[in-house]
Structure formats: structure tokens, C-alpha cells
Structure 1
Amino acid sequence: MEVVIQDDAGELGRLGAKAVIDTLANTPDAVLGLATGSSPVSIYDAVAAAVAAGSVSLARSSAFTLDEYVGLPPGHPQSYRSVILRDFVDKVDLDPGRLHTPDGAAADIPAACAAYEGQIADAGGIDLQILGIGADGHVAFNEPGSSLASRTRIKTLTQQTRVDNARFFDGDVDAVPSHCVTQGVGTIMQARHLLLIASGRHKAQAVHQLVEGPITAMWPASVLQLHPHVTVLVDRAAASRLQLTDYYRDAFANKPDWQGF
């Protein structure tokens, strides 16, 4: 696990975009895993700027999102498909037809979950998975207590998650769905490169548990310690509870040029 600490939160987006751009340079038809939420937006904006400048293209790539609410009608502005279209896909040259999202409106949710797993497998797996992390350590919608071997499935959202997301529903927590479809922790762990971004002091405990804590379902993201290729991008505030901060900074400062992300 590589931990990259930056004083400037904006630099996190540039570094994250570099990981995306490098992946596409090596594999133009790369399969990207896209997260919604505020944390990855700086990465998406930097990639969009690179596309606009003509230095990278997503025309041959495809993408899978992590999760989707259950019960929102198709095209709802707060569905995660709508969000990722606004935040990223509409700003780059990725074919929207190559964007895959879980079906939270399916009549048979378990069958839709199995089908989504099949789509990922048929695409050859995910080359680079972008992730955020919740203050309670959840990754995608795998809330504390989730199985660390879980696959794409329906999950009940915690009340805290619904309260946190109410800001996207005009502050009405009752309008936030109670359930979601999410890639499982086991699904996420099969991606070839995991790129997690976090900022703010409210994420500091989760980042500490992710990087330095024991591997436990109480902090689902902690299982990323077992993945062979993980990059964690954090600002100073999110890194404030890490015990090995000086080492992480030294390791990144002295990283060989050939190593990349």
C-alpha cells in the first residue's frame, strides 16, 4: 500500500488523474471503476482537462460504477448513474454506452446483481478502481459489518449514511432510499489497481484504520491492506491520525522515477 500525503488537497486530484492517464497510456481500452461522491471529483475534473487538451482519450475505454440506490426511477437526478454522467462522463470522450451501472430498479435485484458481476468478468475485470472512504470506514456501500468476501448485492444503508446523503435530497432524510445495490468488498478487491482518495479531518480515523489498523469488518476498507496494488491519496487533515506520516512522506519523495503509480 502506497500512502501519498499532500498539503494541497488540489494536488490529490492531479495525482489521481495521473494514475488514470498512465493507465490509459499503457492500456487504451482500460476498464475503469468509477466512484461517486465528492472525493473523486477533483480527479475527474483533472482527467476532463487532459481530455480537452488532447493529451488523453477514453474513447476506447469502458467503465463500471460501484453502486446505485434501490427504488429511484430511471433518470432521477440523484441516481448514481445520473451523478457520474454529470460529474465525469459528460465531460470526457467516454461512450455513455460503455458506462455500466448496477440496476437499482430491477424487478429481480439478486439476478441483476449476478448479471453485474458477469458484466465485469466479461469485460476482463477492472484495471483501475477509484474509491472514496466513508467516515465510518465504508467503501462503496459496504457498511461496517459487511462481509470482506462479499460480491455485488443489495445492502441496507445505515441511518448515518442516509443522514449524510440527505444534503443531496434537499435535506430530506426520508427521501434518501433505505437500500442500495453495491459491488461487494470481494468484487472491489479483484480490481488490478485500487486508487483511494480522501480529504478532511472527518476522514482521519477511517484513513488510520484503513492504513494502520487491524483488518476487520468493522472498518471494511481495512481489507485493502491485503491488495497487492493500492494507492491512498490523502491531504494533511485526513492523514492527521497516521502514525508513520514521516515514513510515507519520505517514501514518496524518494520514489524511483520508473516506478510510477
Structure 2
Amino acid sequence: MKLLVTENYETLSQLTADIILMKWAENRRVNLALTAGSSPKRAYEILSTRLKTVAFDQSLAHFYNFDEITLKDQDYGLTMQALHEELHQPLGIKEENIDVLDAENYQTFDRKIAEDGGLDLVLMGIGSDGHFCGNMPEFTSFDYGVYRVPIEPEDALYKLIDESSPHTPGKEMVTFGPQTVLAAKELVLIANGEKKAAIIKQALEGPITEDIPASVLRLHPNLTVILDKAAASQLA
């Protein structure tokens, strides 16, 4: 594991953008699974600016959403809506370069990834409970590939989506499981802010356990963890 501790969120974002650009610059097809959310937001802004000034063949980059939560009466789920807004549209990614994981194709998605040449890079955040992608402590197994989790109205995840989204949650979540993520060629985990310090310490320095799903990422031979000083503040 390579651990990079940056002075601040801006530097973290610069490094994250650099890693994505280095993959893009290899002048071959690259398969990328990049997270949505607040942590990578600035990195994607930097990436968008750089792509306007540097000549990259955008057709070589293919994008995979690593999880999805269905929404009622919507063409796309929660993750794809966020990725379109935060990543695909600002970077000008064409529809044919976006490979969508959803509740209809999740059972064959591991095979599709393999047929496409495997994932070159997975960029993830970490939840305050230690989850990565959609791998929550209460139901994940380190043995899982891509899998489905039903969502019921009484579930905490349903209530969270219902409260934070203008759309009604659907019936399921699908996600890359630990085995799918660990099969990628390179993993990058990013976290910023003091609120992530406690879970970062558990994930990076505690036991590897399904109770802290992100701890399994330490088994990958090419894992880079990028933190700002606040997120790294509890590390030994």
C-alpha cells in the first residue's frame, strides 16, 4: 500500500486528477470505475480543465459505475445521475464510452469487465462505517463479485435516499463486490476531512474484517491511499 498524505484537499484533488490523467495518457483503451460524491468533485473539475488544454483521445477511456441504487420512474439510478452531472457531462464523455451497471445486467457484469480487458483503475471513497462502493458492513462478504441487495422501505439506506433525493428509491442496489474490485489493476482510495479520520485508522491499521469492508483493500498489490492531513490525523 502506498500512503500519500497531502497538506489539504486541493493538493489531494490535484494528485487524484494526475493519476486519472496518467491512465488516460497510456494511448490505449483504459477502463475506469470512478466514484461520485463530494470527495472527488474538485479532482473532476481539475480534470475537465486539463482535458481542454491537453490533447487526449477521449474515445480510449471507458467508464463503469461501480454501484447503482434504482429509483422509481427514472431512466438512471442514483449513482449514474450523479456521475452524469459530476463527471461524464463536464468531461464530454460520449454515451458509447459509458458502460452502465444496473439491476438488469449485474449477473453478467463481471464477465463483461473481463471481456473488456479488466478494470485499469478503480477510484473510491470510504464511508464513515467503512463501506466502499456499495459494500456495507451489514451484508457484504469478501467472497462476492458483482451482487444485488434488495432495499425495503424500512431499511436505513432507503430512508437516507428518500430524505436526500427528490426521487423515490427503487427496490434494489447493485454493486461491485470485493472480488470485482480486487481484480482491478490499480486501486485508489481517497478521503478528506477530520470526520473520516477514525474510520481511516480502522481501515488501514485495524484487522482486515468484513465489519470494516474497506480494510480488505489492503490486500491489493497496487493500492494508493490519498488523504489530507485531517483525514490522516489519527494514523500512527
Q: Does the alignment reach a TM-score above 0.5?
A: yes
Q: Describe how 1:31-70 pairs up with structure 2 within 5 A.
A: 31-70=31-70
Indicate how the Cα distance of structure 1 residues 71 and 92 shifts in structure 2: closer, same or farther if over 3 A, else same.
Answer: closer
Query: Which residue does 1:256 correspond to in 2?
Result: none
Tell me the amino acid that sits aligned with residue 200 of structure 1: G
Indicate how the Cα distance of structure 1 residues 231 and 70 shifts in structure 2: closer, same or farther if over 3 A, else same.
Answer: same
Once structures 1 and 2 are overlaid, which stretch shifts more, 127-136 or 28-37?
Answer: 28-37
Once structures 1 and 2 are overlaid, which stretch shifts more, 78-87 or 218-227?
Answer: 78-87
Query: Which residue does 1:248 correspond to in 2?
Result: none
Task: State the shift of 1:94 in Å.
Answer: 2.6
Tell me the amino acid that sits aligned with residue 103 of structure 1: D
Task: State the shift of 1:168 in Å.
Answer: 3.4
- Aligned partner (choices 109, 121, 125) of residue 118 of structure 2: 125
Query: Which residue does 1:189 correspond to in 2?
Result: 182
Distance 1:49 1:167 in 2: 33
Query: Which residue does 2:220 correspond to in 1?
Result: 227
Indicate how the Cα distance of structure 1 residues 167 and 16 shifts in structure 2: closer, same or farther if over 3 A, else same.
Answer: farther
Query: What is the number of equivalent residue pairs in this alignment?
Result: 233
Runs (4+) of structure 1 exceeding 2 A deviation are: 54-59, 70-76, 156-168, 175-179
- 2:3/2:224 contact within 8 Å kept: yes
C-alpha offsets along residues 219-259 of structure 1, whole Å, 9 cap, x if unaligned? 0110111100011111122112111xxxxxxxxxxxxxxxx
Q: Describe how 1:104-183 pairs up with structure 2 within 5 A.
A: 104=103, 106=104, 112-145=105-138, 146-156=140-150, 159-162=155-158, 164-166=160-162, 168-170=164-166, 175-177=168-170, 179-183=172-176
Query: Which residue does 1:247 correspond to in 2?
Result: none
- 1:67/1:101 contact within 8 Å kept: no
Q: Does 1:94 align with 2:93?
A: yes
The alignment yields a C-alpha RMSD, in angstroms, of 2.1
Give the fraction of aligned pairs with identical amino acids, expressed as a percent. Answer: 27
Query: Which residue does 1:103 correspond to in 2?
Result: 102
Task: State the shift of 1:177 in Å.
Answer: 4.5
Provide the TM-score with structure 1 as the length reference: 0.81
Indicate how the Cα distance of structure 1 residues 200 and 118 shifts in structure 2: closer, same or farther if over 3 A, else same.
Answer: same
Task: State the shift of 1:165 in Å.
Answer: 4.4
- 1:75/1:82 contact within 8 Å kept: no
The unaligned stretches of length 5 or more in structure 1 are: 107-111, 244-261
Indicate how the Cα distance of structure 1 residues 209 and 31 shifts in structure 2: closer, same or farther if over 3 A, else same.
Answer: same
Provide the TM-score with structure 2 as the length reference: 0.90
Distance 1:167 1:46 in 2: 31
Indicate how the Cα distance of structure 1 residues 75 and 183 shifts in structure 2: closer, same or farther if over 3 A, else same.
Answer: same
